[in-house]
Amino acid sequence: MTQKTRQLGAVLYPGFEMLDYFGPLELFSVMGSDVVKIHTVAEKAGPVAAAIGSEGAVGPRVLADFGFEDAPVFDMLLVPGGAGTLSELENEAMLQFLHERCAEAEIVASVCTGSALLAKAGVLNGRRATSNKQVFALATMQSDRVEWVEQARWVEDGKFFTSSGVSAGMDMALEIIRKLWGEDSATTTASYTEYTWHRDAENDPFASDLNVLARQLGMA
């Protein structure tokens, strides 16, 4: 049986969070490039620096294969969070790219504050979604047309998968693998990466940290 190769657009921006991005990409990579072909994409092709904590884009640099203008069609989109989200919320090129590309994608996955970008781009209207717990207000203030879920490791609504902070993206990615390629693929991937998969989307050990950081930052 031949199987369609899905094209995954993994979105980069200055100050993205490393594990938001490379956690899910690690798990998708185990499937092999004939199953998921990973493409890195940013506003412009070239180097994009990761966040170091709240310091912004001063971390390791990853090369974007494509700019928004010349990127191919994507079946799947991955939108990470990170300190750089704040700037991207004001970046029309990013919001327009997400708006256009989410419409044509089969699966859209965000990690951490990545869902704030999706909400601002208007693609989560009428959907259930979650976000990083410590800065939950950053997501909720982007749209009151989203049903924000305060207690969830990740939330699935139609083609949209939004996860809680950083590490939660890996549990969400395994669920996407399970949906698209079956239970065995997901468990094999978890074993290969020696990852203890937290399978229950509603089991959220970090819900009690709600807005801990947002209050320090004067957001909530």
Among residues 91, 151, 167, 185, the one that binds a second copy under rule CB under 8 A: 167
Q: How many residues bind a second copy (CB under 8 A)?
A: 48
| Active-site residue, selected from the candidate residues 112, 118, 168, 172 | 112
Rounded Cα–Cα distance for residues 57 and 83 (Å) = 8
Q: Is 187 one of the binding residues for a second copy (CB under 8 A)?
A: no
Q: Is 126 helix (H, G, I), strand (E, B) or coil?
A: coil
3-state secondary structure of 132: coil
Tell which one of 7, 42, 43, 51 touches a second copy (CB under 8 A).
51
Of 6, 14, 22, 120, the residue at the interface with a second copy (CB under 8 A) is: 22
From the list 203, 112, 80, 81, the residue with the least C-alpha distance to 151 is 203
Rounded CA separation 193/189 (Å):
6
**Is residue 211 near a second copy by the rule CB under 8 A?**
no
Closest by CA position to 142, among listed 174, 184, 110: 110
72 binds a second copy per the rule CB under 8 A? no
Q: Is 102 a catalytic residue?
A: no
CA 25 to the chain's CA centroid: 10
* List of residues contacting a second copy (CB under 8 A): 10, 17-19, 21-23, 25-26, 29-33, 38, 40, 47, 50-53, 55, 58-63, 65, 132-134, 164-168, 191-196, 198, 205-206, 209, 213
Q: Show which residues are catalytic.
A: 112
